[in-house]
Amino acid sequence: MHIVVLAKVVPDYEVPASDFELADSRAHKRYKRMMGLYDENAIESGVQLKEKYSSTLTIVSYGNKDDIPVLRKAVAMGCDKLLLVTGSSDDASVIAANLKMALDSLGDVDLVLAGQQSADMDRGLVHGMLAEKLGFVFIPQIAGIEYLDGQWKVTQNTETGIRELECREKAVLSITSVPENVPRIPAVRSIFAAKKKAVDILPAIEDKAMPVDEVSVEIPKMESVCEFLPAEDDIAETAKILLRRLREERYI
Amino acid sequence: MKTLIIEMIEPKRLGELVTVSREFCEKPDIVAVGSGQIPGSFAKAYQVEDTVASNLISDLASLILKEGYEIILLSASTLGSGIAAPLSIKLSAPVVSEVIGIKPELVVERPLYGGKAVATYKLKKMPAVLTIRRKYFEAADLQGFTESKLLGSDGKKVELITEREEKAEGIPLEDAEVIVSGGRGIGGAENFPILQTLADLFNGAVGASRGAVDEGWAKPTQQVGQTGKIVAPGVYFAVGISGASQHLAGIANAKCVVAINKDEEANIFKRARFGVVSDYKKIVPVLIETLKEEG
């Protein structure tokens, strides 16, 4: 069994809004680069499947060579191989086409995992587009995966609860975060071993971008001015003031 | 413009999409997913009982091409995100997900960077597929019902084995006028009941941050944020929640945020209307007592 996990390196997603700035409509280059948060959940899910079914696990990414050191974290977590397509498009369809090319080059992929959405573009589109281009089934928001009797049995977290689904075909699954797939912290020895691992690099292919123009990107202002209630000595008084203020302004 | 809504039969979700559809046409058509009557008045209604997104894509694509729909509207939900991207490839259509604003001339807005930025796009070709983020548009009041035609579905790729609804105790999170949410600062699952007690006194509901859900202290269905539920209550108590932008993206339309946090530097205070810099274990029990005394 050959499992591929898609991973994307993004600017630090924990930078608070107050420190966030743009340059050329994208996050300023000064922020630290890191693996997307749901991508790490997907890697962890992939490593768990590898351990359970002795599968081969390949990380595939589309992006910049400078991000290879960040991608190596996936190897340290337990992935076998890294494959990077070098390119710089943000167009979901272009990224999906390049990932398809990379997967085609691997030849024998049975299952593709991806984070529910990237930690920079927030759109959750690339994996579904890739699935359609590959002719695979796409199932979003997956919290658990098993392989039984020749089919994938997956658990999907929906807005209202949990679904169990079965699928006999090759699939692209987007992974959501649950306590069971909180990413492991690799051992120091694995981190060093991962540094020596070879990375396969493919040049990007040309593909048509979606017929959508990005007109602008702006940082919205946070307009709220917080009224701090005194909370040092008399907490009972604080509670009363809070309730009174909420009523005065007709929130409750 | 010829507009098609694809959505589960759920009045609030349908109502929001009907509101959005008015930007494009007088009366949209609908593919209603699931069983039951279709609330509201649609020009033409189709119904499909299979609720698994991957089983619907081929038939939806055929219908859209045959009828010449120009705008396809879905919610940014499990169903919508399962359909939108594959459908866009099938139709060679542009797709914009998690739309939070619509302007004239096919200009749409959506958040980037966990809600820290907003991007504006112009659609240059139709059909175009849009998924709409919940709670950013008022739900239209749906009058009456529309008769539907059953839409065929050929061959199931994915089989739905079981479906379990996570029954919220009391009022559902999305409908609550008061939400009390806990984050990592709550410290453990055993501390969530006190938030429930406070929520109950307001006839409200308990939410959680992604951190608290990852710790296993709260259910995934309780998660509020960009990738959880989008809520718009009158009052949102953020208890032990630092206020990452991904969380704030879920409460952008909350009218009043009350932040209770030990750390006065916490980002949540920048979004809050009222702030209490305190250990929640001190103030929450007193709030409960005061509300009880008032009856």
Q: What is the DSSP string of B136-203?
A: SSPPPPPPSEE--EEPP----SEEEEEEEE-PPSSS-GGG-SEEEEE-GGG-SGGGHHHHHHHHHHTT
Structure tokens at B19: 């509101």
pLDDT of residue B78: 96
ipTM summary value: 0.95
- Arithmetic mean of pLDDT, A87-101: 98
> For chain A, what are the domain ranges?
2-203, 222-251
Is the CB of residue B231 less than 8 Å from the CB of residue B206? no
Instruction: Determine the distance from the C-alpha atom of residue B137 to the mean position of all C-alpha atoms in its chain, rounded to a whole number.
Output: 11
CB within 8 Å of chain A, chain B residues 112-131: 112-125
In this predicted model, what pLDDT tens digit does every residue of B58-92 receive, in sequence order?
A: 999 999 999 999 999 999 999 999 999 999 999 99
CATH of domain A2-203: 3.40.50.620
> What is the rounded distance in angstroms from the CA atom of residue B116 to the CA atom of residue B292?
39
| DSSP E strands, chain A | 2-6, 9-11, 22-23, 26-27, 33-35, 56-63, 81-86, 111-115, 137-148, 151-157, 161-167, 171-175, 199-203, 212-218, 227-229
Q: Phi/psi of residue B284, each to 5°?
A: -65, -45
Percent of chain A with pLDDT over 70: 100
- Architecture of B178-294 per CATH? 3-Layer(aba) Sandwich (3.40)
The yes-or-no verdict on residue B139 having pLDDT over 70 is: yes
The DSSP 8-state label assigned to residue A179 in this structure reads G
Query: Which residues of chain B does A210 touch, with a Cβ-Cβ cutoff of 8 Å?
Result: 88, 94-95
Mean pLDDT, chain A, rounded, equals 96
pLDDT at B166: 86
> Does domain B3-150 fall into CATH 3.40.50.620?
yes
Strands A26-27 and A81-86: unpaired
Nearest CA distance, A240 vs chain B (angstrom): 7
Q: How far is A79 from chain B (nearest CA, A)?
A: 23
Contact B116 A126 (CB under 8 A): no
Residue B287: its chain A contacts at CB < 8 A? 239, 242-243
Of residues A116, A118, A46, the one with CA closest to residue A81: A46
The two most distant CA atoms of chain B are separated, in Å, by: 64
Query: What residues of B are in contact with residue A127 (Cβ under 8 Å)?
Result: 85
Mean pLDDT, residues A124-148: 98
Q: Number of A:B CB contacts under 8 A?
A: 265
Show me where the domains of chain B are located: 3-150, 178-294
How far apart, in whole angstroms, are the C-alpha atoms of residue B230 and residue B249? 8
Question: Is it true that B3-150 and B178-294 share their CATH fold?
Answer: yes
Q: Which of B117, B227, B287 sits opposite A117 (nearest CB)?
A: B227
Is residue A222's pLDDT more than 80?
no
- pLDDT per residue as tens digits for the range B41-50: 999 999 999 9
Of the candidates B84, B216, B235, which has its C-beta nearest A252's C-beta?
B235
Asked if A198 has any chain B CB less than 8 Å from its own CB, the reply is no
Please tell me whether residue A31 adopts helix, strand or coil conformation.
Answer: coil
For B31, the 3-state DSSP assignment is strand
> Model's pTM, two decimal places?
0.95
Q: Give per-residue pLDDT as tens, B242-261.
A: 999 999 999 999 999 999 99
* pLDDT value at B224 more than 80: yes
Is B282 at the interface with chain A, CB within 8 A?
A: yes
Q: What three-state secondary structure class fits B224? A: strand
d(CA B185, CA B187): 5
Torsion of CA B167, B168, B169, B173, to 10 degrees: -160
pLDDT at B38 over 80: yes
Q: Residues A252, B202: contact at Cβ < 8 Å?
A: yes
Alpha-carbon distance values, B12 to A113, A239, B17, B197, B258 (Å): 32, 34, 9, 27, 26
d(CA B274, CA B113) in angstroms, rounded, equals 26
Mean pLDDT computed over A17-25: 94
Q: How far apart, in whole angstroms, are the C-alpha atoms of residue B198 and residue B214?
A: 23
pLDDT of residue B273: 97
Name B145's bridge partners. B39
Q: Which two three-digit tokens encode residue B53?
A: 């997104």
Asked if residues B28 and B14 have their Cβ atoms less than 8 Å apart, the reply is no
Asked whether residue B234 is marked as a ligand-binding residue, the answer is no
Task: Among B89, B221, B226, pick the best mutation site for testing chain A contact (most A Cβ within 10 A).
Answer: B89
Which positions 138-177 of A are in contact with B (Cβ < 8 Å)?
A: 138-141, 143, 153, 156-169, 174, 176-177
Mean pLDDT of A8-25: 94
Tokens in use for A13?
């997603």
Write out pLDDT tens, residues B148-195.
Answer: 999 977 679 999 999 999 877 789 998 999 999 999 999 999 999 999
- Contact across the interface for A124 and B158, Cβ inside 8 Å: no
> Cα separation of A160 and B75, whole Å?
14
Would you call A218 and B117 a contact, using CB atoms and an 8 Å cutoff? yes
Report CA torsion sign: B166, B168, B172, B174.
Answer: negative
